[in-house]
Structure 1
C-alpha cells in the first residue's frame, strides 16, 4: 500500500508496524474508542483495555497488513486487514482527529475495495452503531447485513459494486 502524492505532500506516511509501536497503538485506540467503550460497555478501565488491546495488537501483527499512519513522523493512526482464501476481514481503521477528513480514510477504503475486486473476495467489517464512520463505509459500497447489541456488521461485495 502506497499513499498518494497528495497525502504525502500533506505530511502523511505509512510504515509497517513493529512491536515497539504497541504504546502508540494503545494511545490511538484510547483516543478513538474510549467514548464507544464508555457508551456500550460501561466505561474504559485502563488495565483491562491495555490487556485487551495488547492481545489485539499481537494478533494484528500476524495479519496480511498492519501499518501505522504518520503525520510529520508522529503516529496518528493504524490500518489493518487480513486477506484469507475466501474473504478479506479484520478491517481496522483508527485515526486521530488531526488525520481525519483529509482523504486518508477514503484512500484506505479505495485501496481495500480495489483489492477486493481484483481478488473477487468480499470484505467484512464491524463498526460501532454510533460511529459516524459507517457513513463513509456506505459511500464505498459497504452494506449492513446484521447487527449485534453494539455493532453493525457490514459487507462489501465486489460483484454487486460493479
Structure 2
C-alpha cells in the first residue's frame, strides 16, 4: 500500500507525451487487444490527439512518474476519461487513492462521477467497491456511475 503523502498529481507537460503513450501501452494494451486489436501506430495517433486536447495529469510516487489521470468536469457530472498506471504501480492502492480524491471533489460539488471501462478490465471491481454502479453495457465497454450519498 502506498502512503498518500508519497503521491503527487501535477498537470501534464508537453515533455510527458512519450511517458503518456508508454503508460497507456503498458496498462491498456492487453484489454484493447482482446476487443478491437492494438495497432501501435494507430494508438499513438489517438494518444497524441487526446494528450493535446484533454486535461491530463501525471501521477508521481516519491517524485517518479507512475501513471496519469484525466477528469473532465461538466456542470452536471464529472467524467473520469482515463486513469492508467504502470504495471509496477498497480495493485498498491494508488488508483484507489486517486479515485477517492475524485469522489471527494464530486461530493463537494454535489455531482455524480461517470466513467467507461472495458468489460474485460478487472478495474471494474475497484469501481464497484467504491460505489459505482453499471449504467449501460455496450460491448466492449460498460458505463458506470457513482452518485453522491450512495456509496
Q: TM-score, normalised by structure 1?
A: 0.85
**Which residue does the alignment assign to 1:134?**
124
Select the residue among 123, 127, 135 that pairs with 2:113.
123
Count the aligned residue pairs.
Answer: 150
CA deviation vs aligned residue, 1:104-132 (integer Å, no higher than 9, x gap)? 11111111111111111011100110111
**Which residue does the alignment assign to 2:70?**
80
Quote the Cα distance in structure 1 between the aligned partners of 2:9 and 2:149.
Answer: 30
Q: TM-score, normalised by structure 2?
A: 0.91
Q: What is the SS of the residue equivalent to 1:145? A: strand
Quote the Cα distance in structure 2 between the aligned partners of 1:91 and 1:53.
Answer: 12
Moved over 4 A (4+): none
Quote the Cα distance in structure 2 between the aligned partners of 1:92 and 1:52.
Answer: 13
Select the residue among 8, 13, 17 that pairs with 1:22.
17
Q: Check the 8 A contact 1:86/1:121 in 2, yes or no.
A: yes
Select the residue among 44, 50, 64 that pairs with 2:44.
50
Q: Check the 8 A contact 1:7/1:103 in 2, yes or no.
A: no
Q: Check the 8 A contact 1:68/1:79 in 2, yes or no.
A: yes
Quote the Cα distance in structure 1 between the aligned partners of 2:105 and 2:4.
Answer: 20
| Superposed displacement of residue 72, structure 1 | 4.3
| Superposed displacement of residue 138, structure 1 | 0.5
